Copies of this chain bind each other. A is one copy, B any other.
Amino acid sequence: TRRYSITLLPGDGIGPEVISVAKGVLSLAGSLEGIEFGFQEMPMGGAALDLTGVPLPDETLSAARQSDAALLGAIGGYKWDKNEKHLKPETGLLQLREGLKVFANLRPATVLPQLVDASTLKKEVAEGVDLMVVRELTGGIYFGKPRGFSSDQNGEEIGFNTEVYATSEIDRIARVAFETARKRRGKLCSVDKANVLEASMLWRRRVTAIALEYPDVELTHMYVDNAAMQLVRNPKQFDTIVTNNIFGDILSDEASMITGSIGMLPSASLGEKGPGLFEPIHGSAPDIAGQDKANPLATVLSAAMLLKYGLGEKDAAERIEAAVLHTLNRGFRTGDIYSDGNTLVGCKQMGEEVLKSV
């Protein structure tokens, strides 16, 4: 048996419900593949704020660091929305990404044939969409300094942030993106605003340089405003997209909504070495928290990404992915992806159905 330690970060809202399902699925898929997991649950986000006064307690970060991978549910909620910046759940998430040095955020957006009707896009536009956004996650305007509030020469208050990238930051995310594209359909589109921003000019220059190492991958460049349009016009044109932190935040959310089923979409955040962070792309959905209505499949598929990208356990990962598809084929649907003729189930029962298919 192979043994791995997993830090579970249930977080807020529907987080605990979906993490509980994913934990069960991980355990079963693992045991069928000769893998044993040690789980440690740690507080994070609003839950940590209530318990300890900070959104990312030191104990949580060091537990995650010492484990083989971390699986996060969701963070945030109305209750903490008015908190000062350093006491926001979101700040805990940014600290976790920084603390784990997970600079590469992989966010697939796939339209499953079973769920094509969930998209607001016409069927012929949505069907077959299968793209991956590789978002830089620990640099750019999210972390750039100087930042803050000050006053300008007229004594007026200003708020400011710095978008900044260094060569090595661009090079390493570019390499992850080229490697990702190589394992997919061999097409990489780098998105920037190089017609206006110096940070983007350097980005484009470095991505173009790194492309020499990957002659088998076809590289194109696109401005971010055009990318936002093209995702709506013809999302099928994309295979792998690589972009900076803030553009990736916007475009990956747009891409996910194009699938119409954001309750299905996982993500992986990876560093050079050390544990990765895996989480569904949906939020904490406080309006349905605790009502057994959440779709746990995004977290279950995040657990599959954890196995594949975090632990190199491809067989167990594929076992989970197949179980999810099988469960959908058997007609089980949570409310967010429900359509006529299927069986409406809650979060728990969806988990039980997946377990039957693992």
Asked whether B232 lies within 8 Å of A258 as measured between CB atoms, the reply is yes
Given A157-B202, A202-B158, A250-B228: A88 in contact with B195 (beta carbons within 8 A): yes
B160 touches A161 (CB 8 A): no
Chain A interface mostly: helix
Give the nearest-CB partner of A143 in chain B. Answer: B196
Contact A158 B166 (CB under 8 A): yes
Which among B88, B90, B251 is the interface contact of A228 at CB below 8 angstroms?
Answer: B251
Contact in complex: B233, A256 (CB < 8 Å):
no
Chain A residues 125-163 with CB under 8 Å of chain B are 125, 141-142, 144, 147-149, 152, 154, 156-163
Q: Report B-chain residues with C-beta under 8 Å of the C-beta of A147.
A: 197-198
User: Which of B121, B154, B225 is close to A253, meaning CB atoms less than 8 Å apart?
Assistant: B225
Number of interface residues of A (CB under 8 A): 61
| Residue A120, interface by CB 8 Å | yes
> Which of chain B's residues have a CB closer than 8 A to the CB of A141?
141, 163, 196-197
Question: Which residues of chain B come closer than 8 Å to A258, judged between CB atoms?
Answer: 232
In the assembled complex, the Cα of A125 lies from the Cα of B141 at a distance in Å of: 34
- Bound-state CA distance A247–B193 (Å) is 12
Within the complex, what minimum Cβ distance (angstroms) separates A285 from chain B?
13
A–B complex contacts, Cβ < 8 Å, 7 sampled: A120-B234, A121-B122, A158-B164, A158-B166, A159-B198, A161-B164, A225-B253
Chain A residues close to B by CB (< 8 Å):
85, 88, 90, 94, 120-122, 125, 141-142, 144, 147-149, 152, 154, 156-168, 193, 195-203, 224-226, 228-234, 246-247, 249-254, 256-258, 262
